[in-house]
Amino acid sequence: MDELYDEIKSFLENLKPHFVIFDFAYWIPELALQIGGIKTVSYRVVCPDKTTFMTSTAAELVKPPPGYPSTTVVLRECEAKLLQFLFDEYGKGVTFLERMQKSRAGCDTIPLKTCREVEGTFGDFAAKQLEKPILYTGAVLPELKNEPLEEHGLSNRLEKFEPGSVVFCALGSQTILQNKQFQELVLGLELTESPFLLAVKPPEETNSIEEALPEGFKQRAKEKGLILDCWVPQLKILSHKSVGCFVSHCGYGSMWESLALCDCQLVFLPRFFDHLLNARLMEHELKVGVEVEEENDLFTKENLCKAVKCMMDKDSQIACSMKENHRKWKELLSSPGFMSNYIDNFIHNLHGLLLEQT
């Protein structure tokens, strides 16, 4: 993207737009200033608490600044290493952190892909830290269409099982597990004794899912388990009546889809630093699910099984409480006009920025 500087400069000089909405192209604000008359919008499609952690220094990676609005939506000391990427080169001659800092410093406003009702305290804190106006776009969720699950014969497979009995686990497009963790994952799902559907990439240093499976697993799980290493229609699966539990990596998109568009019980298995913050928001602030406990930075099949069984136990007080909280959040977030009002207000606020310069 950085190598497109000249082309984008020419494009903007000819088009003279009111706004440029950008993310990693940190040179956009300076370019817009040179051309004149263009407002720049540094759009954040990640949690606002992640923005706070990106102001940390190397010595204080897991210590949010004073006044941070939560004692639970934080990283643990052992997770500091996950933030090392901030100080790595990301493009020619610039680190990831410098790229983010320059984007924030030069832009006119920072919209967040969230709702005030869910993360407003973090957005307010980010506004103070960054000294920039914060706007909210809402979660910008896709529409859920009532279409059959044709891919991979999933509809026929899921129909075989009782309502609410299937565990669906999806770890996103970026997660590639170590082989040992992959085996803990599939054995943990097997331990639940529930039918399961797993969407995951082949683990490190392997060519396929099949070669990485524990000995005898394929034969034991053939009736109850299905593992796919390709894209799956996540929203359609989550809305199927047979799916009762969603084990998620808690990426921001999956977080919102699970919170606002499905009725499943939620279990979190985060692998990246922003996913960890999402999971802790969901567990400790919103109280809609549980994170799988780790031992020495690794999850075990026993702890995965424990979390899933806890959430699927209809007699569990924790599970019932989480389910009720989830129901309330879904009711709010999916209520008529709720999300469209956010978009309308966002557009209105952008118009307000234009009026400031006239």
* Eight-class DSSP state of 247: E
Secondary structure (H, E, C), 271-337: CCHHHHHHHHHHHHHCCCEEECCEECCEECHHHHHHHHHHHHCCCCHHHHHHHHHHHHHHHHHCCCC
Contact 277, 50 (CB under 8 A): yes
Same domain flag for 303 and 168? yes
Weakest mean pLDDT among 150-154, 245-249, 250-254: 150-154
Whether residue 305 has pLDDT greater than 90: yes
Asked whether residue 142 is assigned to any structural domain, the reply reads no
Q: Tell me the pLDDT tens digit for each residue of 150-159.
A: 776 788 889 9
Same domain flag for 130 and 194? no
For 319, list phi and psi in degrees, rounded to 5: -60, -45
Q: Tell me the pLDDT tens digit for each residue of 173-199.
A: 889 999 999 999 999 999 999 999 999
Same domain flag for 161 and 115? no
Closest by Cα among 260, 267, 258, 266 to 234: 258
Task: Give the model's pLDDT for residue 59.
Answer: 45
Q: Tell me the pLDDT tens digit for each residue of 53-73.
A: 655 554 455 677 788 899 899
Partners of 110 in beta bridges? 134
137, 164, 184 - which closes a domain = 137
91, 112, 137 - which closes a domain = 137
Q: What is the token pair recorded at 77? A: 């000391």
pTM of the model: 0.92
Average pLDDT of the chain?
91
Asked whether residue 340 is assigned to any structural domain, the reply reads no
Q: Tell me the pLDDT tens digit for each residue of 253-279.
A: 999 999 999 999 999 999 998 999 999
For 40, list phi and psi in degrees, rounded to 5: -115, 135
Give me the domain span that covers residue 284: 151-333
Cβ neighbours around 182 below 10 Å, total: 24
Q: Between 348 and 82, where is the model more confident? A: 348
Q: Between 17 and 83, where is the model more confident? A: 17
Task: Give the model's pLDDT for residue 58.
Answer: 46
Cβ neighbours around 201 below 10 Å, total: 17
Query: CA 316 to CA 320: how far, in whole Å?
Result: 6
